[in-house]
Amino acid sequence: MKQPKRLSLPGQRIIRSAVAVAVCIVFYLLRPWEGIPFYSATAAMQCIQPYTKDMKKVARKRILGTIVGASCGLLLLLLESWLIDDVASHTTLHYLMVPLFLILTLYLTVVFGIQELAYFSGAVFLALTINHFTDENAFLFALNRLLDTVIGILVGSVVNRLHFPRRRNTDTLYVSALGHSLLDSESRLSDFSKVELNRLIDDGMKFSLSTIQTQATVRELLPGVKLRCPIITMDGAALYDMGKLSYLRTTPMSGEKAARIMSWCHEEGLPFFSNSIEQNLLVIRFRELENEAMKQLFEKKRNSPYRNFIRSEADSYGGVVYLLILEKDETIEKAYGKLMGEPWIGEYRVAKHQSEYKGFSTLKIYDAACSRDAMLRELESIMGTKETVTFGADAQRYDVAIPNSDRNLLVKELKRRFEPIDIRSWKNIFRW
């Protein structure tokens, strides 16, 4: 029975938004009641963003949107004051002009590339031209709206940048498994974990993954995550740089080993996918899709730009990192027993797993030298870090056991280890 999700406490963005609004209200009270706190409060809330670059973008666009709306409103009022002696006595004409100038306002948001702020610019324009066109000094209203917005943006920017003083452990390499220690029960990364993980990486955390999956599957499971360190993929068969789209290290079978194991599969009537690294690409060869599970896997994976499926009657022995046999449970069990009895099996590493397709299991066959631990040593050599901390569900295998990620435990543990609060790091209190 699926357990109900527990409600979490309000996050930092919620708390920061409330603090920013409170500060805007204080500024309003300190001014001689000339402003309208609504405008500064909404501007401040928009500036509370997960990433600093997003905050800068929102601030710039919010100011520009206010200027566009206020300027178009002032332009209409200026024209009316020049053409009409008493605007208040010509309200019908004024209201006919408002929609025409609203077209100009909305069009200018397109010209300036701020279409997402069209509603806001239009609201500023309408507030000025409908609610305040009879004011003695509508120009003062427009100036105050701009000032309210600037105050809100400045308050939001400062509040969003203030943090506890933290010491950052940039000399430690953090390596996580990709199972349910990081992903939730539906194999998804939570929004909280994604935002916090990206922020920690931006702040200098050296974070990597060690997974049985290919780099293509990692991309599909972690869209938008900034994996700047090389990751260990295919159960240790490869070390891949996600930024450069490049395989840094691989552990392929020799041509002789690849030919022997493929020949054995053909003799036993076992269809397989041959995964090889060729010219820095993942190439997956097969002869026939001989069962329903193979067909489903092929249809699921074939559209990825990071996989290259090739149907071929002839085997290729170069750069093969592993074979994937996908067959019914009883067939795999029988094949596994026979394979492990072969005199040359010590030259390979064989992993048997239950597949995601009901009634089917997998055999993955690698070179004997292929292992995640060996590839982790390669990664440590490349990164040049002083310490490595691994995370995963198995307490016997990993330094830190994270049984599941339903409560974002892994990212919270990463944050605690990477940036502990330290008053000596007071210089980090303001994040640029």
Across the range 51-60, mean pLDDT stands at: 69
Under the banding of pLDDT at 50, 70 and 90, the label for residue 286 is very high
Residue 156's pLDDT is 86
| Domain 172-249+373-429 shares a fold with domain 255-369 | no
Residue 10 phi/psi, 5° resolution?
-55, 135
Look at residue 372 in the predicted model and tell me its pLDDT: 95
Q: Domain 255-369 belongs to what architecture? A: 2-Layer Sandwich (3.30)
d(CA 184, CA 190): 7
* The pLDDT of residue 153: 84
Percent of the chain at pLDDT > 70 equals 90
Alpha carbons 251 and 367: distance in angstroms, whole number: 7
CATH of domain 172-249+373-429: 3.40.50.1000
- Residue recorded with tokens 């009879």: 134
Cα(418)–Cα(406) distance, integer angstroms = 21
Cβ-proximal residues to 292 (8 Å cutoff; 6+ apart), any chain: 357
Percent of the chain with pLDDT over 90: 51
The arithmetic mean of pLDDT across residues 158-169, rounded, is 80
Secondary structure element (H or E) that encloses residue 283, with its range? strand 281-286
Q: What is the pLDDT of residues 83-141, one digit of tens each?
A: 766 655 667 787 888 999 999 999 999 998 888 889 888 988 888 788 766 666 667 77
Predicted pLDDT of residue 14: 84
More confident residue, 369 or 91: 369
Least confident of 128-142, 338-352, 385-399: 128-142
Is the pLDDT at 167 greater than 70? The verdict is yes
Whether the Cβ atoms of residue 276 and residue 319 lie closer than 8 Å to each other: yes
Average pLDDT over residues 151-178: 86
Report the chain's C-alpha Rg in angstroms.
30
Q: What burial class does residue 3 get, using C-beta atoms within 10 Å of its C-beta: 0-12 exposed, 13-18 middle, 19+ buried? A: exposed
Q: Model confidence over 356-367: pLDDT tens digits?
A: 999 999 999 999
Q: pLDDT tens-digit profile of 68-91? A: 988 898 888 888 777 766 655 667
- Per DSSP, what are the bridge partners of residue 26? none
Q: How far is CA 141 from CA 30, 121, 137, 152, 305, in A?
A: 18, 15, 7, 16, 54
Which pTM was predicted? 0.74
Mean predicted confidence (pLDDT) in 242-256? 94
Domain boundaries, the chain: 12-161, 172-249+373-429, 255-369
Token pair recorded at residue 44:
């401040």
Asked whether the predicted pLDDT for residue 410 surpasses 80, the reply is: yes
Q: Is the pLDDT of residue 38 over 70?
A: yes
**What is the band of 5 on the pLDDT scale with cuts at 50, 70, 90?**
low
Residue 401 has pLDDT above 60, yes or no: yes
Mean pLDDT of the chain: 87
Retrieve residue 342's tokens.
């072969």
Residue 185 has a pLDDT of 76
Most confident of 75-79, 222-226, 325-329, 414-418: 325-329
Burial class for 215, CB neighbours closer than 10 Å (0-12, 13-18, 19+)? buried
Question: How far is the C-alpha of 117 from the C-alpha of 110, rounded, in Å?
Answer: 9
Position 154 pLDDT exceeds 60: yes
How much is the pLDDT for 1? Answer: 43
